[in-house]
Structure 1
Amino acid sequence: MSKRIVCLRHGQTLWNVEQRFQGHTDIALDETGLAQAARAASLLASLRPTLIVSSDLSRANETGLALGRLVGLDVAVDKDLRERGGGEWEGLTRDEIAARWPEEYVAWEAPGGEPVADVAARVSAAMRRWASSLDDGGLLVVASHGAALRLGICAMLGLPEELWSSIGGLGNCSWSVLEEGRRGWRLVEHNAGTLPEPINSDDSPGTD
């Protein structure tokens, strides 16, 4: 059986609601986020995860802990799974950013922020590192952040940077599933809020 990675975005925070750039700022889950984490945990528990690891930021760690408590697993913490650093944008709303840095806003490159290539490299390296400790058929749950996971997934798939925007974002407490094939990792679910189901089609799994 193949190894799998469930890439789980954290639950909602007040700054999510206010559309503030969170980055490395440590913002806790709000009441809705805690409920989202509990719901996601109740679904993902049935997949019988082997290992759970989270970002060191509390919003992701709290999300991972909700699952860990349910399945009786400790949650390891890895700072390489934290969100993209937002430099001078952290704590500001999208409107404030657009008004003060119009060109940088269009490019989504924060002054003093972390380059997307650096985020993709560190997150994918962390995911590969943790996945390497799985037995065949093992399931790793990575509780992290929207940009960090999207960029990490792109790097895991070996996509060139110019195609990274073709992978959409993740909603709060939604997840994506990577599966290890003979030619590397592939994306089998993306931005899901329900459990993965087997896919039967003419696209044979033997073509990977």
Structure 2
Amino acid sequence: MSKRIVCLRHGQTLWNVEQRFQGHSDIPLDETGIAQAARAASLLASLRPTLIVSSDLQRANDTALALARVVGLDVSVDKDLRERGGGEWEGLTRDEIAARWPEEYVAWEAPGGEPVADVATRVAGAMRRWAAKLDDDGLLVVASHGAALRLGICELLGLPESLWPALGGLGNCSWSVLQEGRRGWRLLEHNAGTLPEPVRSDDRPEAEA
């Protein structure tokens, strides 16, 4: 008997399709994203979640609510599960970012944006706090964002920052599964729920390949 965390990325938004950096911008799910959330809910309900928490941004919260309606749970909201802040890049496309900030684009460090280490610390901290509320066999679903979840998972696994790029990105309404063991958390599944397809996210490009 051990605790598990399902890290669920939100459904598609118009800005995902347009490859715009969303960050803290509160962009809603589009029609495809709503359908993705419903499909993910029907699958994840079979895991019998015992606790659901989401980012305060509506694209993640609405994804969580789709699952909550199926399993009869409430959704708690935690601002620490927000996406990485994009500073001056928010609302801009990948091409616009690359043209205006070629050096920063290569490093994927937005002017005025949030450092990856800070994101990893806050997201992993939130996941630990909520997991601590679980019974020994409980299942926590965390509805959040592509870069935020990938970085939080890396921190929760204890990976050194130099290895963080080795973990690929999460597609819309795909998920990763973590399980607590005697020596800490381990990754059971990553980017599950869909066949391999392009990932459109605020994450750095190599995490999406």
Please tell me the TM-score bracket, short chain as reference.
over 0.9
- Alignment gaps of 5+ in structure 2: 195-209
CA shift for structure 1 position 130? 0.1
TM-score when normalising by structure 2: 0.92
Matches within 5 A, 1:121-200: 121-193=121-193
**Secondary structure of 1:190's match?**
strand
Aligned AA for 1:50?
Answer: T
2:71 is matched with: 71
Give the CA deviation at 1:129.
0.1
- State the partner residue of 1:31: 31
- Which residue identity lines up with residue 160 of structure 2 in the other structure? P
Equivalent position SS for 2:23:
coil
Structure 1: gaps spanning 5 or more residues: 195-208
Give the SS at the match of 1:92. coil
Q: Residues of 2 paired with 1:144 and 1:27: CA distance?
A: 13
Aligned counterpart, 1:42: 42
Could you list the structure 1 runs, at least 4 aligned residues long, displaced by more than 2 angstroms after superposition.
none
Distance across 2 between alignment mates of 1:32 and 1:121: 31
Alignment-derived partner of residue 93 in structure 1: 93
How far residue 37 of structure 1 moved from its aligned partner, in angstroms, is 0.1
Match of 2:114 in 1: 114
Aligned-residue offset at 1:60: 0.1
Secondary structure at 1:11's aligned position in 2?
A: coil
State whether structure 2 residue 83 is matched by structure 1 residue 83.
yes
> In the TM superposition, what whole-angstrom CA distance separates every residue of 1:25-79 from its partner, at most 9, and x where no partner exists?
0000000000000000000001000000000000000000000000000000000
Could you tell me which amino acid in structure 2 is paired with residue 111 of structure 1?
P
**Larger-gyration structure (1/2):** 1
Q: What is the aligned residue count?
A: 194
Provide the C-alpha distance between the structure 2 equivalents of 1:54 and 1:152, rounded to a whole number of angstroms.
14
- TM-score, with normalisation over the residues of structure 1? 0.93
Partners of 2:3 and 2:67 in 1: CA distance: 19
